[in-house]
Amino acid sequence: MARARRRRRARVGPKRGLSVRRGTARDAAVICELIRGLARYERLERQCVIGPAAVRRHGFGRRPYFETLICRRDGQPIGLALYFFTYSTFLGQPTLYLEDLFVLPEARGAGAGRALLRALARLALRRGCGRMEWAVLDWNTPSIRFYRRLGAGLRKEWILTRLTGAPLRRLARAGS
């Protein structure tokens, strides 16, 4: 098992035709497709309404809300990492928050996911981050195993808290 893993790792990199580069506005449709692929995998496709125009506007507009890395194999896009920066007040350092990580099903197990995370780790350190953080669905055991092997810790005591739709509007409207 460990030997097979080492063998797989040894094939990762330029030899396998993998490249990881920042996404540009021209990649908006590709980014959108990969986001949709992740939503499908997470069985949340109905919630995924993003289109290329929103990607262009929010990723590459005047005030970018996110950045992307795209992994290509032999020039073809096969994987995406979409991330942005938050801030850890306790550490007094920025955090690289990974919103989406996805590799096309037919391209998995060839090192693209690891290559994307490695590129993100380098970026995080270059930009002075104290940590990288992301959420994973509790049933996504292959990914959880992968993250644990990288040395990531799972923080089950934190509960994701979300205010959206009508309750969000109601709170915004409420008088003081």
Ligand X SMILES: CC(C)(COP(=O)(O)OP(=O)(O)OC[C@H]1O[C@@H](n2cnc3c(N)ncnc32)[C@H](O)[C@@H]1OP(=O)(O)O)[C@@H](O)C(=O)NCCC(=O)NCCS
Applying CB under 6 A, among 55, 70, 110, 124 the residue interacting with ligand X is 110
User: 23-46 burial, b if ≥16 CB within 10 A, otherwise e?
Assistant: beeebbebbbebbbbbbeebeeee
Applying CB under 6 A, among 38, 39, 120, 124 the residue interacting with ligand X is 38
- How far apart, in whole angstroms, are the C-alpha atoms of residue 162 and residue 43? 19
> Mind telling me the catalytic residues?
147
**Which of the ranges 62-70, 84-92, 96-104, 164-172 carries the binding residues for ligand X, by CB under 6 A?**
96-104
| 149 near ligand X (CB under 6 A) | yes
| 41 near ligand X (CB under 6 A) | yes
| 11 near ligand X (CB under 6 A) | no
Q: For 108, list phi and psi in degrees, rounded to 5.
A: -75, 155
For the chain, the helix, strand and coil percentages under 3-state DSSP, each to the nearest 5: 45, 20, 35
Complex with ligand X: residue 41 or 66, whichever CB lies closer: 41
Q: For 16, list phi and psi in degrees, rounded to 5.
A: -90, 5
| 77 near ligand X (CB under 6 A) | no
| 118 near ligand X (CB under 6 A) | no
Applying CB under 6 A, among 108, 119, 121, 130 the residue interacting with ligand X is 108
Tally Cβ neighbours within 10 Å of residue 50. Answer: 15
- Kind of pairing between the strands at 18-22 and 67-73: antiparallel
Site residues, ligand X (CB under 6 A):
5, 8, 38, 41, 101-103, 108-114, 136, 140, 142-143, 146, 149
